[in-house]
Amino acid sequence: MRTPPEDAPPARDENPAGRPAHRPTSRDVAQAAGVSQSTVSLVLNGKWSGRVSPATARSVQEAARALGYRPNVAARNLRLGTTRTVLLVVPTLTSPFFGTVYIGAARVAARHGFRIVVYPPDDAGSPGGTGAPADAPFGARHEAIDGIIASSMPLDAISGFGDVPVVMLDAGPDAGGAPTVDFDVKAGMRAITEHLAALGHRRIGHVAAAVDEWTFRARGAALAEAVQALDGGRLTREAGAINVHAAKEAAGRLLDRPDRPTALVCDDDLIAAGAIKAALARGLEIPRDLSVTGFDDVQLAMAVEPELTTVRLPAGELGARGLTALLEVLDGGRPGSRSLPVELITRRSTGPAPG
């Protein structure tokens, strides 16, 4: 029997799973599901709701999975004049909080065929970082990304990106009119104050983040207002960078006062870890001699001893809602501002006021 030459192209055949040997196309999916290619496009791009029945959408999705269909992203982007890439700008890569924001945003992005690039403009949370306005990490900004979600920074921090659509996260009025998704941080500080007041605390120290951002200004203002409303309430404040060493120094200045606070309220869980170190260095026992609270509820809150009373911010939900709002902007919509509820988590770092 005659055999083909060694350099002959392989014959088109069915693979063992019964799929076509060539890369399946949207036409193959349409034929398998018994629908049009436009229906396939709507379903696989996540735009079928209200246009296609759930049963038809399931049929398309099952057919795509059975065929091993993967969209030709490069061809689609060229056709649509889009990159399907979103830039997530965060102030630091050293905080686990922003990792959770990314995870929430990435889950939504994946469902809609987008990818996310994470970029810190100038890592203010790292040694030498300043949080200065960003220079775009791409040669041609408008050709490289479709939009930006920026977390916990003012709008001018991303001024270097030009007119790319933006959604701001945890930025409040600093968003400069851009769509926003915020946390109700004021409610969080009020909840902390009420919790401490119920335990008998009236001398409260605020270990503040020395960062000029709306979220920290709002926390400080809400705490001051809540303490002022207490009968006999007194608030003292020291600020430092968001790292353990700076927080330990700032907390130490409060604890060395003759009218030492009976509770320290910290703007961040990492700051709270520094405050605990300052207390232990002075022979204070937590919470017998001093109560300490944090903010964010990152994993560190469970790692310190005693475990930290803190305010839980739904960071993953922040990222998810932010990406959803940006997709709405890219689709021609105008999403309104949204505020996410927070939750006080009480643990063993708070107790009755001494004496």
Q: Return mean pLDDT, the chain.
A: 85
Domain 78-181+315-336: which CATH number of 3.40.50.300, 3.30.450.150, 3.40.50.2300, 3.30.830.10: 3.40.50.2300
Q: In what order do the strands lie in the sheet with 180-183?
A: 115-119, 85-89, 147-151, 166-169, 180-183, 338-340
pLDDT at res. 21: 54
Highest averaged pLDDT of the listed ranges 21-25, 28-32, 286-290: 286-290
Give yes or no on whether 1-71 and 78-181+315-336 have one common fold: no
Query: Of 5-19, 52-66, 79-93, 165-179, where does mean pLDDT reach its minimum?
Result: 5-19
- What confidence tens digit (pLDDT) does each residue in 91-142 have? 888 888 999 999 999 999 999 989 999 988 765 444 334 444 455 555 544 4
Domain coordinates of the chain in residue numbers? 1-71, 78-181+315-336, 185-314
Share of the chain above pLDDT 90, in %: 57
- Partners of 91 in the beta sheet? none
pLDDT of amino acid 281: 97
Q: Which residue has the higher pLDDT, 175 or 347?
A: 347
pTM for this entry: 0.73
pLDDT at 28 over 70: yes
Of the pLDDT bands very low, low, confident and very high (cuts 50, 70, 90), residue 182 is very high
Q: Which residues pair with 264 in a beta bridge?
A: 205, 292
The values of phi and psi at residue 89, to 5°, are: -100, 125
pLDDT of residue 315: 95
Options 3.30.450.20, 3.40.50.720, 1.10.240.10, 1.10.260.40; CATH for 1-71 is 1.10.260.40
Give tens-digit pLDDT for 250-308.
999 999 999 999 999 999 999 999 999 999 999 999 999 999 999 999 999 999 999 99
| pLDDT band with cut points at 50, 70 and 90 for residue 143 | low
**Least confident span in 47-56, 135-144, 176-185:** 135-144
Quick: pLDDT tens for 36-52.
888 888 888 777 777 88
Is CATH 3.40.50.2300 the right assignment for the domain spanning 185-314? yes
pLDDT band, residue 166 (cuts 50/70/90): very high
pLDDT in tens, 201-244: 999 999 999 988 999 999 999 999 999 999 999 999 999 999 99
